[in-house]
Structure 1
Amino acid sequence: MHASSDIPADSDSTLVVAILGGEQSRFAELVERYQKMVYGVAWSQLGNRDLAEEAAQQTFVKAYCYLATLRDTNKFRPWLAQIARNISVSLGRKRSKELSNSDRWDLLPAEKEENSSNELPDLKHELRETFGDLKNDHRQILTLFYLEGRNIKELSATLALSESAVKTRLSRARKALRGELEKRMGNTLDDLTPAHSLVPLVMSGLPTAAPLGATTKLATLGKTSGYLTKLGAFAWLNLLSSIPFFFLMYHYSKRQAETYQDGKEHDFRRKIILQHPLNVFLLFIIINLVVALMILQGFSFHTLFQLLCLLCLFGVWQGLQLLKVNRSEYAQAQVIVPALQLLAFFLIGFFQFHFVTFLAAMTLANLVLYRASDSMPFRMDYNLFLRAATDGLSIIETKMDDQHEFSRSKLEQFAKFLGSHWLIRDYQLTNRHLELFLPHAKPRILQEWIPSQFYSSRVVIDQQGHCEAFMHAKDAKAIKELTKNESTPAMLTEKVQEALEFSLRQFDSGKLELAIDTLCQIHEDQVFKKKESKAIAFKMIGKIGIGAGILAVVMFIIAWYFGEGSFF
C-alpha cells in the first residue's frame, strides 16, 4: 500500500513534456506540488487568504494555457512564481479600486468586517512578543540603542564596557532578535496553506482543449509564441515606435537633401544624407537582435541594462574626445545625451527603476539635441581628402621657411582651430609632432563608435610645419564611390598636405580667416540654398522625437496602471 511512496516523483520537466503531449491529468501533480508555494506568493502580495486562493487558481489556469511558451522546462517553478506575482499585483490593484469605490459610497461594511481576519498578521505584536523573549542583556542594549537613541560611546559609559565590547554585545543582540523573529514568522507562514486542496478546483477550471504544444504544429506555434514573449516590452516598444519614426526620418532627410544647391557637385552630399536613415535602421535591427538573443539566453532585463552602461560609458568618452577639439552646443550634446542614457541604464540596471526612466531620459536627450541643432554640422564634406576630391581646398604655392619652428602650444591651438570647424575628430600631441585624426569621408554609425586612432585618415605635422597625410582605405573607397573622381590617392594626399601646411602658416600669422578659407574654398552659401534652412528638417525630427518620447512615457504609465503592474 505504501510502496508507491518510495517511487521517485517525476521532475517538473518530465511532467511538462507529458502535459504538452496530451496527458492533461498530469497537470494535477504540478498543482499538488506547487499549490503551497503559489498560495504563499499570492498571500505575500495580497495579505488576504480569500484573494490569495483566487489568485492561486488563476495562476495555475494561466500556466496551463501558456505552458508551451516555457522555453526551459527545468525552470517551471520560477516561471510559475512570476505568473503568480503578476496576477496578484493585478488582482490587488483591482481590489483596491473596488474598496476605494465602496469607501466613497460607504458600501460593503459587513464584507470589510468579515475579511479583517484575513489580513496580514499584527507585525508589531509579533515584534513585541519576540523582543520580550530575548535575554535581559540583549533586550537592555537594544532598548538603549534603538529606543533611547544612544550611540556606542554613550552605551560604553552607561554599561561600563569598552566600545569594542559594546559593539560585540549589540551585534549578538541583533542576531538573537533576527533569529527569534525569523522563527516566529516562519511558523506563521507555515500555516499559510489554502483552506482546502486547489487540485480539484484548478482541474475543473482548465479549458477542455489541450495546452499549446499538444501537437507538433501547436508545439512550434507555442515555442514561437514563447520566443516572442521573451522579447518583452523593451523590443516590442522599440519596434512599434521606431518603424514609423524611421519613415518620418527618411522623409525629412529628403527635405534636408533638398536644401543643398542644385548641381552634380553636390550629389555626394545628398547621397550621404539619404543613406543616414538606412544606417540608423540597420543599427537598430542589429541592437534588437543582440538584445533578443541575450534575452533568449536567459539574461535578465536588469543585466542587459547593466551591460548597456558600458556602451554608454564609451559613448560619453567619445563625446569628451570631440569636446576636446570642439566646444559647440552640438558637441556638448554628444556628451550629455549618452550621459543621460547612462544614468537611466544605471538606475534601471542596478536599482531596478522602471523602464519609463529610460523613456524620460530619451525625451530629455531629444530636447538637448533639438536645442543644439543650429550648431550641428550639415555640410557632409568635413573630410579633407573628400574636399580635395571636390575642389574644396584652396592651394596657394609658397615657399616654406624650414628654419621656423612651431611651438607645442601653437600646434595644439591649430588642432583645436580645425576641430572647431569639424575638420578633425581628435588629435594627439607629442614633443615632436601633432597627429590629427580626420572624420570619415562617408559617415557610418558603426564607424563612429570605433576610436579614431584605429579607423581614420590622419595627418602628422612636425615642428617645422611639414605635413604627412595618410588616407585610410575606407575613405579612398568612399570618396571614389561618392564623387566618381579619378584622382589617385597620392594626388589627393599631396593636395591635403599642401593646404594644411599653408593653413598652419596663416594661422600662426594670425590670419584666421585666410587659414580656414584655404581648407574651405566652398562656403556655406554655395552649399545651401538658404543658410537658415539647413537645420529645419533636423528640428522637425527633433520635435517628433520629443513628442514621441512624451507619448511613450504617458502610454507606459497608462499600461502600467491598467495592466499587470510591471513590464520588467
Structure 2
Amino acid sequence: MAAVRRGDAERYRELVERHERRVYAVAWSRLGNAALAEEVTQETFIRAYRRLWLLGDGAKFSGWINTIARRVAINFGLRHRRELNKRERWALENADQSTKENSAVETGPLHTPETLRQTLAELPAAHRECLVLFYLEGQSGAEAAAALGISEAVLRVRLHRARHAMRERLEEKLEGSLVKLRPAKTLVPAVMAGVLASSTTKATAAGLGGTALGALAKFTPFKFLFSFFAAASVLTGIFLQWLFMRLESRNFLDRDGFRARLFRRSSRWWILWFALMMLVIWTLVPWFVLSSLHRGESLATFYLVLAGITSVMSSIMARRLKIIRNRYFIGIVATNLLFAVFCLMIGLGWIPILWTAYFVAVQMILMSFTFSGRPMRADYNLFLRSVEGMLKNVEPVMAEPAKRHVFNNSELFDFARFLGNRWLVNDFRLMNNGLVLRMSPVNMSLWHFSLAFFAFGSQGSKLILQRDGTVSVTMHKRDRRALRQLRGENPSPNGELENRVAAAAESAWQKFRVQDFAAAERTLGQVPESEVFVQPLAKSLSTRLQRAFMIGIALFTVIQTFEINQLLHIKSGFTISDQNLSEQNYKLAMSNLKTAKTEEKRFYALGAAAKESFVAGKTEAAQNYAGELMTLLPKYKGNWNYGNAIQDTNLVYGRIAVREGNIEAAKKYLLAAGKSPGSPQMNSFGPNMTLADDLLKKGERDTVLEYFMLCRKFWKMDFGKLDKWMHEVMDGKTPDFGANLFY
C-alpha cells in the first residue's frame, strides 16, 4: 500500500491479483452474470486506485474494496436491469441453449434451470411427485394429496423431507460451484491498463508543478538559490510593509493624535508578525513539500489538510457576515472560501498544482478592489472614543416598562449590522435575553483584527442589546490596560465608562430605529474620513501603491505561469531529418569525451558518445563505449547521472541487438532501461524512446507497454504523454515520440 501511494502503480498489480477472485464473487452474487461481473471487477479496482488516498489503514483494504464492488454492482444492476431481465427470460424459455451458453461463460451451474431439474431428478420419486404437484403445478395441499392418494398430513411430511433433501443437494452443488467461481480469464492486464491511464491523469492534474519541484530539489544550486530567494522575499516583504505603514501613518491629519499613535504602535507588531509568518512560510512549508516530493510522496494529503483548515476558518468568518457586510470583509471571506475550494480540487487531483499561480492572480485582483475598505482609523473602540470625548453626552431615555417594545432577533441584528459595518463590533452570540456583541479592541491593529475572527471567547469587551431596548456593556481588563498605556494615566472607573458607553449606544439605537442614521453615527462618535485622513483611503498614496503592487503581481504570475507551461509542453511534432545535425551531435559527443580528463567526467560523456556513435553507424565503437560505461556504474550509484547511464547503456545494447536481429535480447535491454531510477533530466523530460520505437516496428507491443509502466516510476511530469502513447500502442498504432527520440 505504501509503495502504491508513493506512485508505484505497478505494485498495485499485487493487490489486484490477491483480491480479484473475491471482488468477482461479490459482483457475481449481485448480478448473476459473468460478463457484467467482470466489468464490475475491473471498474471496482480502477475506482479503488483513484480513491486510495481515502483509505487510512492499508490493512482494511479487503473490506473496503468489497464495499466498492458491492456498490458498483448495484449501480450496474440498475443500469442493465432490462438486459438482465431479458437474459433471465431467455434462460427460462430456452433451457438447453442457455445451459450451453452458460457452460461457455460461467464457472459452474449456479442456480440455472437445468441445475434445478438435475437436482429434482436425483430425489426419490415420492418426494419428486410431491414437489412437482405442489410447487410447479400449483395445486393445493388437498388437491395434491388426492392426486397421490394420500392424506394431507402425509403430504406435509413428504414435502418437508423433500424440501430438506432438495436443500442439501443444492447446497452441495452451490458449494462446489462457488469454490470454482472466478473470471473466465484473469482481469489483471485490463485492470492495470485502466490503472495506468488513471495514474497518468492523476499525475498530470495533481503533480504537474510538484514533480518539477521534485526534480529541481535534487540540485544543490537550486537549494542555494531557493534559500537566497526565500531570504530576499522575506526582507523585501518586510521593507514593503514598513514603507506602506509609514505612508499610512503620514496620511493622518493629526500625526501626533491618538489615532496616529495607536496606528504606529500596532504597525510595529504587525510588521513583526508578518516577518515571523514569512519565515514560517519560506522554511517549514517548502521543507515539508520538497522533502515529500523527494521521497516520491503525493501532495494530495497536504492540500486536503490545508483545505480542511481553511474551510473551518472560512466558515467561522462567514458566520460574521450576519453582522459585518462591508466590502472589505466580504472580500476576505470570498478569497478564503475560494482558497479552500482550490486546495480541495488540487487534493482530489481535479486541477494541476500549476494552477496555484492563477489562483494567486485572482486573489490579488479581488483584494485590490476591496482594499480601500480596510479598517485603518484606529478608533473603533467605544471606550476609546469615550475617553477621547468623541461620544455625545446623552442620557438614556427611560420609558415605562409597560410601553416598552420587545425586540425580535431581526430587529436586534439590524442594529448589530449598523455597528459591525463600522467595525465597532466583530462577533455575536444570540442569547434568550438579547444579542451579545464583542466590541473591537482598543488596539485595533490588523493583527488584532485577524485574531478577532477565529473564536468568540471571553477576551474582549461586550455590548449587549437587550430585547427591551436597553443596552449594557462590560469592559475587559485588556482594553482598560491599553487605555492607560495610551493616555499615561488611569481612565475613569469601569462603571462610569460603561454607563457612558451604554447610554451612547442606547441613544444611537433609538435614532437608528427612526431611520436617523446620521444622528446615530454622531452619537457613537463616528466622524467622516475627511476629519481623520489627509486623503480618503481609496485615493491615498499607500492604497494606490498597494493596489498597483497587487495587480502587478497578478499579471506577472499569470505571464510567468503561461510561459512555464509553454516550455514544459514540448512540441510532439518536432522531427529531425537533417543529416548535418546528426553529424554535429556526433562531433560534439566525441569532443566532450576527448576533453574528459577525469573518470567522473568520462562517466558523464560516455552515454552521449555511445548513442551518437550508433546513430552515426559506428556500431563497434558504440558497443565499446556502452561497455565502458557499464563498468563504471557501480562506482557512481549516488551520482545524479546514474539513471541516465543505466538508460543509455541498455539503450545502445538494445538497438544493436535489434540491428542484429536478436529481438529477445533487445526486449530484455528495453525493460532493463525502464528500471532506471531516473535522473533530473529523465524525471522532467522523460526517457529516450528510440529502442521502444525500434521494437514497435518489430511488433513487440506488449514489451513496450510494460516499458511505459516502468517509466511511470520516475517520469511523473509526462503531461499525459505516456497515457496517450499507451492507448495508441494498444490500438495498434506507433506513437509519434517527438523530442523523446533525441534526449
Same topology, TM > 0.5 = yes
Q: What is the root-mean-square deviation of aligned Cα atoms in Å?
A: 4.7
1:487 to 2:481 alignment: no
Query: Structure 2 residue aligned with 1:506, among 490, 511, 518?
Result: 511
One-letter amino acid matched to 2:355: T
1:280 to 2:274 alignment: yes
Give 2:692's aligned residue: none
Give 1:248's aligned residue: 240
Deviations 1:301-356 (A, max 9, x none): 33222221122113322332332113222222022110121122112222174333
Give 1:332's aligned residue: 330
Query: Structure 1 residue aligned with 2:553, among 548, 553, 564?
Result: 548
Sequence identity percentage: 18
Instruction: Tell me, in whole angstroms, the C-alpha distance in 2 between the residues paired with 1:519 and 1:162.
Output: 85
Summarize the Cα distance change of 1:398–1:336 in structure 2 as closer, same or farther, 3 Å threshold. Answer: closer
1:407 to 2:407 alignment: yes
SS across alignment from 1:455? coil
Residues 42-441 of structure 1: pairs in structure 2 closer than 5 A: 152-156=80-84, 158-160=86-88, 176=185, 178-179=187-188, 181=190, 241=233, 243-265=235-257, 266-272=259-265, 274-275=267-268, 276-288=270-282, 290-291=284-285, 301-351=299-349, 353-403=351-401, 404-408=404-408, 409-441=410-442
Could you tell me how far 1:483 is from its partner in structure 2?
4.4
Determine if contact 2:425/2:438 at 8 Å carries over to the other structure: yes
Determine if contact 1:268/1:483 at 8 Å carries over to the other structure: no
Summarize the Cα distance change of 1:174–1:80 in structure 2 as closer, same or farther, 3 Å threshold. Answer: closer
Instruction: Tell me, in whole angstroms, the C-alpha distance in 2 between the residues paired with 1:228 and 1:427.
Output: 53
Instruction: Tell me, in whole angstroms, the C-alpha distance in 1 between the residues paired with 2:456 and 2:219.
Output: 39
Could you tell me how far 1:512 is from its partner in structure 2?
2.1
One-letter amino acid matched to 1:244: T
Could you tell me how far 1:370 is from its partner in structure 2?
1.2
Could you tell me how far 1:487 is from its partner in structure 2?
0.5
Could you tell me how far 1:300 is from its partner in structure 2?
5.4
SS across alignment from 2:468? coil
Summarize the Cα distance change of 1:526–1:232 in structure 2 as closer, same or farther, 3 Å threshold. Answer: same
Determine if contact 1:428/1:435 at 8 Å carries over to the other structure: yes
Summarize the Cα distance change of 1:306–1:182 in structure 2 as closer, same or farther, 3 Å threshold. Answer: closer
Could you tell me how far 1:153 is from its partner in structure 2?
3.5
Deviations 1:509-528 (A, max 9, x none): 43322111111254322111
SS across alignment from 2:348? helix
Determine if contact 1:259/1:530 at 8 Å carries over to the other structure: yes
Count the aligned residue pairs.
394
Could you tell me how far 1:279 is from its partner in structure 2?
2.8
SS across alignment from 2:457? helix
One-letter amino acid matched to 1:457: S
Determine if contact 1:425/1:439 at 8 Å carries over to the other structure: yes
Determine if contact 1:440/1:457 at 8 Å carries over to the other structure: yes
Determine if contact 2:480/2:491 at 8 Å carries over to the other structure: no
Give 1:211's aligned residue: none
1:528 to 2:538 alignment: no
SS across alignment from 1:437? strand
SS across alignment from 1:344? helix
Give 1:469's aligned residue: 473
Summarize the Cα distance change of 1:182–1:516 in structure 2 as closer, same or farther, 3 Å threshold. Answer: closer
SS across alignment from 1:425? strand
**Unaligned segments of structure 1, at least 5 residues:** 1-74, 83-136, 186-224
Could you tell me how far 1:364 is from its partner in structure 2?
0.9
Summarize the Cα distance change of 1:352–1:452 in structure 2 as closer, same or farther, 3 Å threshold. Answer: same
Determine if contact 1:370/1:539 at 8 Å carries over to the other structure: no
Give 1:538's aligned residue: 543
One-letter amino acid matched to 1:369: M
Segment of structure 1 superposing worse, 392-401 or 341-350: 392-401
**Unaligned segments of structure 2, at least 5 residues:** 9-32, 43-77, 92-97, 108-180, 195-216, 569-680, 686-715, 719-743
Instruction: Tell me, in whole angstroms, the C-alpha distance in 2 between the residues paired with 1:184 and 1:383.
Output: 65
TM-score between both structures, scaled by the size of structure 1: 0.58
Deviations 1:450-509 (A, max 9, x none): 313343321123233333322233333333334445314614333322211221222234
Could you tell me how far 1:429 is from its partner in structure 2?
2.9
Instruction: Tell me, in whole angstroms, the C-alpha distance in 1 between the residues paired with 2:4 and 2:564.
Output: 24
One-letter amino acid matched to 2:260: D
Summarize the Cα distance change of 1:452–1:255 in structure 2 as closer, same or farther, 3 Å threshold. Answer: same
Give 1:517's aligned residue: 522
Instruction: Tell me, in whole angstroms, the C-alpha distance in 1 between the residues paired with 2:548 and 2:192.
Output: 59
Summarize the Cα distance change of 1:402–1:151 in structure 2 as closer, same or farther, 3 Å threshold. Answer: closer
SS across alignment from 1:497? helix
One-letter amino acid matched to 2:306: L
Could you tell me how far 1:373 is from its partner in structure 2?
2.7
Instruction: Tell me, in whole angstroms, the C-alpha distance in 2 between the residues paired with 1:536 and 1:467.
Output: 40
Summarize the Cα distance change of 1:526–1:176 in structure 2 as closer, same or farther, 3 Å threshold. Answer: same
Deviations 1:383-406 (A, max 9, x none): 222222333322223542252344
Could you tell me how far 1:261 is from its partner in structure 2?
0.6
Deviations 1:108-153 (A, max 9, x none): xxxxxxxxxxxxxxxxxxxxxxxxxxxxx9679989xx9xxx9623
One-letter amino acid matched to 1:473: K
SS across alignment from 1:468? strand
SS across alignment from 2:252? coil
Segment of structure 1 superposing worse, 396-405 or 361-370: 396-405
One-letter amino acid matched to 1:520: G
Deviations 1:207-248 (A, max 9, x none): xxxxxxxxxxxxxxxxxx999999999998766545424422
SS across alignment from 2:464? strand
Could you tell me how far 1:439 is from its partner in structure 2?
2.0
One-letter amino acid matched to 1:373: F
SS across alignment from 1:264? coil
Summarize the Cα distance change of 1:334–1:174 in structure 2 as closer, same or farther, 3 Å threshold. Answer: farther
Give 1:121's aligned residue: none
Summarize the Cα distance change of 1:310–1:80 in structure 2 as closer, same or farther, 3 Å threshold. Answer: closer
TM-score between both structures, scaled by the size of structure 2: 0.45
Instruction: Tell me, in whole angstroms, the C-alpha distance in 1 between the residues paired with 2:493 and 2:346.
Output: 49
Give 2:616's aligned residue: none
One-letter amino acid matched to 2:240: L
One-letter amino acid matched to 1:271: R
Determine if contact 1:356/1:553 at 8 Å carries over to the other structure: no
Summarize the Cα distance change of 1:480–1:559 in structure 2 as closer, same or farther, 3 Å threshold. Answer: farther
Could you tell me how far 1:175 is from its partner in structure 2?
8.1
